[in-house]
Each structure stands twice: as C-alpha cells, then as structure tokens.
Amino acid sequence: MGGAARGEPPPPVASRRGVALWVSRAARVGPQLLLLLAVAGMPAHGVAAGPAIDESRVVDLTYTFDDTTIYWPTEDGFHLQQGPHGFTPQGYFYAANHFTTAEHGGTHMDAPIHFAQGRSTADQVPLPATMGPAVVVDVRDAAAADRDYRLTVADLERWEAKYGRIPDGAIVLMRSDWGRFWPNRRDYLGTAEKGDVANLHFPGFSKEAAEWLLARRSIDAIGVDTPSIDHGPSKTFIVHQTINGANKPAFENVANMDKLPEQGALFVALPMKIGGGSGAPARIMAVLP
Ligand SMILES: [Zn+2]
C-alpha cells in the first residue's frame, strides 16, 4: 500500500483528491489504475480532462433490488415502501421512499465478521479490498453436470496455466452462469420454499481452493454468481469461515459474470457503509480491458 506513490510525482492539486485513492492502490493494481484513468478520460499525470467514461467498457454486475430479488430462504426480502410520489401543493414534483432489507441478499458483500468473530465489519472493510483485477474462473461445464459443484484447486491451476499467476490484490470470481436462473428461486437456490435450507443446491468454492488462495496467493476477496461462496448443501459454511477468518470479504449473487473476460477486467464493488454491519448490499461494476 502506498509503495508506488513514493516512486511517482504527486498528481496535480486539481486532480489529487480523486486520484489519491487510485495512487494508493497502484502498488497492487498498477495496470488497472492506468486502465481506469484511461477509461475515465484522465491522464495518469495531469489535470482531469477529456471525454466522459467510456460506457461500452463498464459492466454492471449488480441485480436490481426489488420484490423479486433473491434472499436466503430464512430471510425476509427487499421491501420498498412508497412514500410521497406526485405533485405538491407548491407545484413541484417530489418522490421519496423507505426500504428495508436483510444485509445478505441480492448482490452483496459478506464482511469478514459475518463468519469470524472480531474481524472487520462492513464499514471497516477498506475500499481497496473491494476492488482489484477480476480473475474469472469458468466452471460452467462442471456446474451444469453437478449443481453442488465446488470450485477446485485444479480449476485455479487451469486458469493460471492460461493466464499466468493470479495477480496480487485479485478478486477471484467463480463463473457458473447461474445468473441464467435469476430471478427463479427454485432454479437458482434449488428451492422456492420460504425457510427451506434442506434443499439448497448451487455451486460454490471448495475449502481447499479457498485455503490455497489464502496460503499461496495474495488475493483481496472472492466472489460468486450464486447465492453463497459455500455450495448449497454446506452445513458448516467452511469457505465462509476460511475467507472471513483471514479478514477478507466475499461477494455473492454477482450479476452478469458472463459479460466478463477471464482476465483483464477491473472489479469494483461499493458496498453500503453500514456501521457494524456483517455485510451490505453492494453496487458492483467491472471496467473491461
Ligand atoms: Zn452473504
């Protein structure tokens, strides 16, 4: 952290505030920093100027929060309570609603404290830990053959054989294409019954793959396009225990993973900053190479 900033001239004052975060991150996502600056039309060294963000390179990895959003069977879903919506006596239009939601549902972050006592809460997870190079591990075929598939060390090694060592600060994403089932609860979760946790069937990470990533590589987080980083039948949530135990967050119900290349995209998650939260709804995007 901050290492790259020492070797580079500071950005001009006019752009320093916006760039500071990225410079502090440059030691770990150097190419991604330059990529994002380029997409944003900002020179790496110079005052912000130029065209708006290239929308064609931005992918929204977030499901809409509404009454169709999938939550864990034991959770209540997302509720929007409509407030004022119309023209006021003064003649201007005004709309403002309330919402209630569990922390864990839809596209969201698991903060480390979710399965690890004393670890970081949602507001304590630093922003650099929620962004980084997207390493997309394709397990579509295995998941199609086995709804309860667990991503293996061999799957990670296969990715590295094609693209090289998983970069430091990576967000390692399991792509099962489970998003094709969204928002059908029976197909996505394995059950549409409220409270039914006995019939959950969907793919996730294996304990061995999580341990390998933590011991052998320097990742920031993992994520899945399914409801949980542990596969459906899990009763111990050992992958949660392992990842959160290492004080790392995870991302679940990541949308549109089929639009990402296996390597080269920048993953950016902005979870709601809930004080003391065990997790939080997140807006997640990727910037394509
Ligand atoms: Zn969660």
Which CATH number characterizes residue 114's domain? 3.50.30.50
In a domain, 94, yes or no: no
Q: If you average pLDDT over residues 7-35, what whole number do you get?
A: 43
One domain, residues 154 and 225: yes
In a domain, 220, yes or no: yes
Query: Within a 10 A sphere around the Cβ of 235, how many other Cβ atoms?
Result: 8
In a domain, 91, yes or no: no
Residue 277 has pLDDT above 50, yes or no: yes
- Supply 159's token pair: 């990715």
In a domain, 46, yes or no: yes
| 242 Cα–ligand 1 center, Å | 14
Q: If you average pLDDT over residues 42-68, what whole number do you get?
A: 78
| 250 Cα–ligand 1 center, Å | 8
CA distance 187 to 5: 48
Output the pLDDT for position 35: 52
Q: Phi, psi at residue 287, to the nearest 5°?
A: -110, 120
One domain, residues 22 and 148: no
What is the percent of the chain where pLDDT is above 90? Answer: 81
One domain, residues 72 and 207: yes
| 26 Cα–ligand 1 center, Å | 29
| 110 Cα–ligand 1 center, Å | 5
Output the pLDDT for position 47: 53
One domain, residues 70 and 184: yes
Q: pLDDT digit string (tens) for 226-244?
A: 999 999 999 999 999 999 9
Q: Which domain holds residue 21?
A: 3-50
CA distance 101 to 18: 31
| 204 Cα–ligand 1 center, Å | 13
Q: Are strands 250-252 and 108-110 parallel, antiparallel or unpaired?
A: antiparallel
One domain, residues 163 and 258: yes
Output the pLDDT for position 13: 38
| 274 Cα–ligand 1 center, Å | 14
| 279 Cα–ligand 1 center, Å | 6
| 107 Cα–ligand 1 center, Å | 9
Residue 266 has pLDDT above 60, yes or no: yes
One domain, residues 44 and 122: no
One domain, residues 31 and 68: no
| 155 Cα–ligand 1 center, Å | 23
Q: pLDDT digit string (tens) for 195-208?
A: 999 999 999 999 99
Residue 22 has pLDDT above 70, yes or no: no
Are 202 and 232 a contacting pair, CB within 8 Å?
A: yes
One domain, residues 120 and 191: yes
Domain count within the chain: 2
What is the signed CA dihedral for 272, 62, 186, 210, rounded to 10 degrees?
A: -70
In a domain, 274, yes or no: yes
Q: pLDDT digit string (tens) for 134-165?
A: 999 999 999 999 999 999 999 999 999 999 99
Q: Are strands 131-138 and 171-175 parallel, antiparallel or unpaired?
A: parallel
- Alpha carbon 131 to chain centroid, angstroms: 8
CA distances from 140 to 176, 177, 279 (A): 4, 6, 27
Read out DSSP for 133-165? EEEEEE-HHHHHH-TT-EE-HHHHHHHHHHH-S
CA distance 279 to 129: 14
